[in-house]
């Protein structure tokens, strides 16, 4: 309800589920004057391809980074003691 009182534009972009799924959500959208973006209309096929290529590129870079054991041991080291072996499962 507070969102409807603001003079700012409210934009909703939700990748995982639709913005409107029941009567309550319709009322909220109407009362707040919220705008809904459609991701398929927001990105061109060229944009989607670029995003996909960048995702693959950076995934490969991250895989390479995580395989650099010497670097990671030094990165997670303080006073000559490395904690990398203890925390690497979290990554």
Interval 9-30: pLDDT, tens: 777 666 666 667 788 878 877 7
Which residue range forms the structural domain that includes residue 16?
A: 3-39
Count of structural domains within the chain: 2
Going by pLDDT thresholds of 50, 70 and 90, the confidence category of residue 45 is confident
86 shares a domain with 48 = yes
Classify residue 73 as exposed, middle or buried by CB count within 10 Å of its CB (0-12, 13-18, 19+).
middle
CA atoms of 35 and 28, how far apart (whole Å): 11
Tell me which of 11 and 61 has the higher pLDDT.
61
> What pLDDT score does 14 carry?
66
31 shares a domain with 47 = no
């Amino acid at each position: 309800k507070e969102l409807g009182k603001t003079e700012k534009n409210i934009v909703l972009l939700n990748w995982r589920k639709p913005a409107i799924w029941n009567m309550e959500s319709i009322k909220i959208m109407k009362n707040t004057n919220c705008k809904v973006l459609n991701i398929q209309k927001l990105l061109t096929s060229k944009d989607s391809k670029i995003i996909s290529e960048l995702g693959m590129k950076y995934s490969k870079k991250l895989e390479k980074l995580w395989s650099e054991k010497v670097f990671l041991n030094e990165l997670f080291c303080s006073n000559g003691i490395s904690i990398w072996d203890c925390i690497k499962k979290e990554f």
